[in-house]
Structure 1
């Protein structure tokens, strides 16, 4: 310790600055240690990560869709896939749902948490400098007259843990993998919300089409009942036919009201998903008359011939793979705890004191040196932690493989679903045309008195059922393309511009 009587603040301030510079210079005298920032200074313990091979077949087993390609088979075009629907109403609903979704917001918050963890891991291997300031006014005595002391103290403390065996590097590696996994989960949440909203939108358009069919059917039944009632009053129709016609008209009106009720519930669902007001949702659904009761036309795309390449672009598979990388790095973190740990610490604490109003005295204390800690005996705890980390890694690998198998199953099922819809739709349309022609002929025969009302009603039911089947298959065809889109990974890219910020305005994938 050295002391100096001087005037404040000129010489004292210069001395304090010199002391702070001396502490910083002490840390700067160790430049070789900075080379350990990318790994351990002596060694980097723990396994070097290698991504596990996805358990996939060499090719898709289901027959691919036969629809023409919208983009020459370029998978990158999936990023703009929703634009291919050319439906502004759907785009508006997708964007609103992305902003309002609790799942997307929660996934975004988890990314921020992971980024904070990464910042903490990166700062662990860097020098740390803290400061403190203290002013004290005290009174004391040694049995005689009291002394008044004024003390002004400023302190600087520094600590730096040297990464000898790569534990800090592995910790950074684990934190970085966690950020990437959380980002992939965020993309998965966005794709899931987009698919949910799109399917709800398809359901509403289907409901509109079914309302149109039910309305036309109810009007036809009412007209038949009216004509039958007139013929019955003139004695040209039996009372049984009149009663049957009236019952059929009432049944048709009941079906129309039931279908309209389903559409109302579908609107409530869209309001809940998008967060838009109900008047705005209703306005957007009816703003374009040419889209009312019509299915949006999904833009087709082609899958890559290699299942592994397709599945690895799925965000849930990518998140599972990053979880494996994080678990692998954690093995190194735990293993490094079994090796010596070196840290450099230093402090400078200059103190200005004055007794009974006398001149200020500068007392300067500083220290700088290494501290080496050696793990000697812990009853096997560190070894057990390494074994637990290895077990967590094996579990992460199993989860990754299970996720890949589930993803492959979803793609295969989506391909089968799409192929079935493609093959059934032309047949269903041909059947509907035939049933419509049969109903028109049967109804005409009945109205001129040469047919049976029972036959006409049976023909009506067949025609209505066939038209409903066509509408439902058109909805199934569009939904099958959406299911394949989601199964193939949706439109997401692992790049910084695609990640959320504190105030995102993300559009649907």
Structure 2
């Protein structure tokens, strides 16, 4: 800013005072009230309790990118859908915008290291009252033309600006980790929904095949009824079985449509214009290498974000400490000012000012002390958030490992039950054809066989879901292609 009236000449000692102030600034520039930052500690178990015997330990590769972890499932359709997450998912795009905002705040805080320079032009006319005594300009109208440049700079004596930059930089790193966390979460949600839809397609195919078989059996029974070989009860039982199975198949269509709509939203497309063709082939879960618990702290983006927020809170303590020390402001201005426009550019119209200002707060009623206490409390809260994130991460890994371990045993047991139910159906059908049992026994065997097959398909879907959740809990595979490494010996 600049003044509309000429500044008084500075004393001769002003340049020396300015030089002395600049020298003090250079000597004190290394001073900082920032407490030394130490990464908060968290209790890390020696191994995962839920890991099945024989699971291999993954070799850590911190510098390697996580890569598209979903390729471990070897599904081209899933790969195409996952590719749309970064482009079209609105939650990811919001996280990108928040990261850009955080990076802009770093630039904003870093600008405090540099002086602020302003320039301006002004023209005004003023008249002094004629009834004021003792003024030479009483009753006169005086124009004023002025132009000037001013600069001000606050040396970072006690690290306030530097701590603010460090805090903003840590927040930006946390936002970057948040973005990776959102990407991981959205891609995992998409994979879970996709495999749920695939499971519905498998069950739909099973039900459709059953409807076709039941319809053929009903047609045969109706011929036997017409020939007098059986009574009407067998036809009624077959009709009931057929229509009940058709009802189940229709119910699958309703659930599949809802799942397809959810996938459309995750990929950023309107639900009304998005379709996925049915795929009744069974998908198999991949073998997933399990890392050491300590590696989880290095790979999970939410843990990284929580740790960076601890660093940011630590920097805010330094900012609060710096408020107890005085601020030094160096300012200078230069310009031209004249009552008449004609001599405006001449040397006599020149005005300038230069000088330092040191100011500090002597009493504020405890405001700065309260701010410091608040910053310390914020730091303690960030440490608690970090440790809670670690606990939740280990819980999620253990939940997924336990689920996979139990589901493996459950799938093996269910496969034996399904095989036995299929054998029972064949034997019962043969006995009915031989006239040894009623058709009610066949219907019962069909119901048991269909139920067991659907349960087997549902267990397979739960295994895929648990595999996805484990990959998300581990922060993705350790390296591109790591998910294809055999996990069992």
TM-score in terms of structure 1 length: 0.81
**449-458 or 340-349, which moves further after superposition?**
449-458
Taking the aligned partners of 2:25 and 2:284, their CA distance within structure 1 comes to: 59
Say if 2:246 is the partner of 1:253: yes
Deviation of 1:483 (Å): 0.6
What are structure 1's unaligned runs of at least 5 residues?
1-25, 287-291, 494-509
Say if 2:166 is the partner of 1:169: no
Say if 2:287 is the partner of 1:300: yes
Taking the aligned partners of 2:139 and 2:235, their CA distance within structure 1 comes to: 124
Match of 2:196 among 177, 200, 203: 203
Match of 1:49 among 37, 43, 46: 37
Task: Judge conservation of contact 2:284–2:460 (CA < 8 Å) in 1.
Answer: no
Which residue number in structure 2 is paired with residue 451 of structure 1? 437
What are structure 2's unaligned runs of at least 5 residues?
1-16, 131-135, 480-489
Match of 2:118 among 110, 113, 130: 130
Taking the aligned partners of 2:181 and 2:345, their CA distance within structure 1 comes to: 66
Which residue number in structure 2 is paired with residue 313 of structure 1? 299
**1:319 is paired with a residue of what secondary structure?**
helix
Which residue number in structure 1 is paired with residue 148 of structure 2? 155
Taking the aligned partners of 1:50 and 1:333, their CA distance within structure 2 comes to: 17
Which residue number in structure 1 is paired with residue 76 of structure 2? 88
Deviation of 1:77 (Å): 6.7
Which residue number in structure 2 is paired with residue 345 of structure 1? 331
Matches within 5 A, 1:445-484: 445-484=431-470
Task: Judge conservation of contact 1:202–1:295 (CA < 8 Å) in 2.
Answer: no
Task: Judge conservation of contact 2:18–2:356 (CA < 8 Å) in 1.
Answer: no
Taking the aligned partners of 2:60 and 2:381, their CA distance within structure 1 comes to: 36
Change in CA separation of 1:296 and 1:219 when aligned onto 2, cut-off 3 Å:
closer
**2:261 is paired with a residue of what secondary structure?**
helix
Task: Judge conservation of contact 2:320–2:371 (CA < 8 Å) in 1.
Answer: yes
Task: Judge conservation of contact 2:106–2:165 (CA < 8 Å) in 1.
Answer: yes
Match of 1:336 among 319, 322, 336: 322
Match of 2:418 among 425, 432, 440: 432
Taking the aligned partners of 2:23 and 2:281, their CA distance within structure 1 comes to: 70
Match of 2:99 among 89, 96, 111: 111
**135-144 or 476-485, which moves further after superposition?**
135-144
Taking the aligned partners of 1:225 and 1:125, their CA distance within structure 2 comes to: 86
Which residue number in structure 2 is paired with residue 229 of structure 1? 222
Change in CA separation of 1:295 and 1:354 when aligned onto 2, cut-off 3 Å:
farther
Change in CA separation of 1:472 and 1:358 when aligned onto 2, cut-off 3 Å:
closer
Change in CA separation of 1:277 and 1:394 when aligned onto 2, cut-off 3 Å:
closer
**1:347 is paired with a residue of what secondary structure?**
strand
Which residue number in structure 2 is paired with residue 264 of structure 1? 257
**202-211 or 428-437, which moves further after superposition?**
428-437
Taking the aligned partners of 1:32 and 1:107, their CA distance within structure 2 comes to: 44
Change in CA separation of 1:52 and 1:278 when aligned onto 2, cut-off 3 Å:
closer
Change in CA separation of 1:121 and 1:61 when aligned onto 2, cut-off 3 Å:
same
Taking the aligned partners of 1:407 and 1:185, their CA distance within structure 2 comes to: 15
Taking the aligned partners of 1:395 and 1:149, their CA distance within structure 2 comes to: 61
Taking the aligned partners of 1:450 and 1:456, their CA distance within structure 2 comes to: 11
**1:235 is paired with a residue of what secondary structure?**
coil
**2:454 is paired with a residue of what secondary structure?**
helix
**1:232 is paired with a residue of what secondary structure?**
helix
Say if 2:166 is the partner of 1:181: no
**1:354 is paired with a residue of what secondary structure?**
coil
Taking the aligned partners of 2:316 and 2:207, their CA distance within structure 1 comes to: 62
Deviation of 1:361 (Å): 3.3
Deviation of 1:94 (Å): 1.6
Deviation of 1:491 (Å): 6.2
Taking the aligned partners of 2:174 and 2:137, their CA distance within structure 1 comes to: 69
**294-303 or 426-435, which moves further after superposition?**
294-303
Root mean square deviation of aligned Cα = 3.2
Which residue number in structure 2 is paired with residue 382 of structure 1? 368
Which residue number in structure 2 is paired with residue 396 of structure 1? 382
Taking the aligned partners of 1:352 and 1:491, their CA distance within structure 2 comes to: 73
**2:149 is paired with a residue of what secondary structure?**
strand
Say if 2:268 is the partner of 1:275: yes
